[in-house]
Amino acid sequence: MTTMVAGMNELHEAKKDVEALKQDYPELNEQLIHVTSLTRQLQLKYGYMGSLLRDKELPDYEPQFVRDSILSLYQEEVRKLKDHPNIVQLKDIMKKHRQISDSKLFLLILGAKPELLQGSTIIK
Confidence of residue 83 (pLDDT cuts 50, 70, 90): very high
Q: Which residues contact 102 (CB under 8 A, 6 or more apart)?
A: 46, 47, 49, 50, 94
pTM, two decimals, is 0.85
Model confidence at 119: pLDDT above 70: no
Model confidence at 40: pLDDT above 70: yes
Model confidence at 3: pLDDT above 50: no
> What are the structural domain ranges in the chain?
2-117
- Please state the rounded mean pLDDT for residues 28-32: 98
Q: Is the dihedral of CA 91, 38, 45, 61 positive or negative?
A: negative
CA distances from 21 to 42, 88, 108, 119 (A): 25, 11, 12, 25
